[in-house]
């Protein structure tokens, strides 16, 4: 479940620009000076909300069908595409130390070939979990 799609309502702000709300995540709101900035901020706000829910082991809300959402006067619906794996790579890349064991002969061969163990493990794990 890497790509998620949530409907957002873009509301025209009186002072210009847009403010954005998510019907399925009422606490998630943001704003932008123009359409592009509002969209980018909506992706970031959605990412912060969803990753916080995931970190707290809360179930992510099911996205409403866009056709079921009524927009008010001065607002319009935009579906926001969100890639959880990409967001995690961008915002949660703190290194975590892992201890592992490999056969001594394999260790010796890898050291002679100047293999970066951390890089190999990261690449293998990304392939294993289907993330690139």
Cα–Cα distances in angstroms (integers) from residue 92 to residues 42, 46, 51, in the given order: 19, 15, 10
Is 45:37 a contact under the CB 8 Å cutoff? Answer: no
Percent of the chain with pLDDT over 70: 97
Give the β-pairing of 29-32 and 75-83. Answer: unpaired
Across all residues in the chain, what is the average pLDDT? 90
Chain segment 74-102, per-residue pLDDT in tens: 899 999 999 887 887 777 667 788 888 99
Mean pLDDT, range 107-129, rounded to an integer:
90
Mean pLDDT, range 30-45, rounded to an integer:
95
- Give the per-residue pLDDT at 132: 66
Six-digit token string for 50: 């969803």
Cα–Cα distances in angstroms (integers) from residue 53 to residues 46, 48, 86, in the given order: 11, 9, 17
């Amino acid at each position: 479940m890497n790509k998620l799609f949530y409907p957002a309502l873009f509301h025209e702000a009186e002072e210009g620009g847009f403010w954005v709300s998510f019907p399925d995540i009422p606490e998630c709101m943001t704003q932008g000076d123009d359409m592009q900035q509002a969209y980018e901020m909506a992706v970031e706000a959605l990412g912060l909300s969803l990753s916080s829910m995931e970190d707290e082991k809360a179930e992510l809300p099911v996205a409403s069908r866009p056709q079921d959402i009524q927009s008010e006067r001065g607002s319009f619906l935009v579906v926001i595409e969100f890639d959880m794996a990409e967001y995690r790579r961008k915002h949660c890349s703190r290194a975590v130390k892992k201890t592992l064991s490999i056969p001594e002969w394999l260790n010796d061969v890898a050291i002679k070939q100047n293999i970066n163990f951390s890089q190999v493990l990261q690449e293998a794990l990304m392939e294993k979990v289907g993330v690139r």
